Chain A
Amino acid sequence: DGGITQSPKYLFRKEGQNVTLSCEQNLNHDAMYWYRQDPGQGLRLIYYSQIVNDFQKGDIAEGYSVSREKKESFPLTVTSAQKNPTAFYLCASRDWAGGTEQYFGPGTRLTVT
């Protein structure tokens, strides 16, 4: 089955620790995205990547980092510099040559205490 996987589903970390969220897709999509979702707020774009070895900051990139070494993978690191990291994180991908819609993974809920 083609799709996007995110792991783990739930993640708990202590304040001051960096944590990496995994996102893998087997849809052969060129573009990948990271969003965070908080109650009462719309989805906010953290980073996006259109091709391998290239990525751009979204609207709330501070305290986050990404890499895109393979087309299938776009991991997100939440660093200790992120002041409010507890949130629901969503990864998405898009077929650049196809439609304009993005397809989402199941999400990772990160709790930092």
Chain B
Amino acid sequence: EDQVTQSPEALRLQEGESSSLNCSYTVSGLRGLFWYRQDPGKGPEFLFTLYSAGEEKEKERLKATLTKKESFLHITAPKPEDSATYLCAVQAEAGNNRKLIWGLGTSLAVNP
């Protein structure tokens, strides 16, 4: 069964304290892996798409990486405004490739 697991569920950091969020996936062929940021009461905001193992993408303090089994979202020197829930989703090649399989998210709090 296709599955996406995110860890940790929640993470609290001090401003400037770098860390990583994990997204492990089990799918029958990966078509794409997506990272989103969601603020409370708002829709998810698209961050990155990764397509193949070894691929990396960066945006400001965020860097996403991909292996054959998992993806990491590295946050370097986070600021309080980085506080949000980070969602991971994958799209499988087999079957109905129009649907995304979503993780439950990691809730990140960055203290000043």
Contact = CB atoms under 8 A, between A and B. Distances in A.
Interface of A: 4, 6, 31, 40-43, 45, 48, 50, 58-59, 88, 90, 92, 99-107, 109
Interface of B is mostly: strand
A99, A101, A105 interface centre (most CB from chain B within 10 Å): A101
User: Which range contains the number of B residues in contact with the other chain?
Assistant: 20 to 34
A101 B104 CA distance: 18
Interface of B: 4, 31-32, 34, 36, 41-46, 49, 87, 89, 91, 98-100, 102-105
A103 B41 CA distance: 16
Nearest to B91: A100
A106 B98 CA distance: 22
Contacts of A105: 43
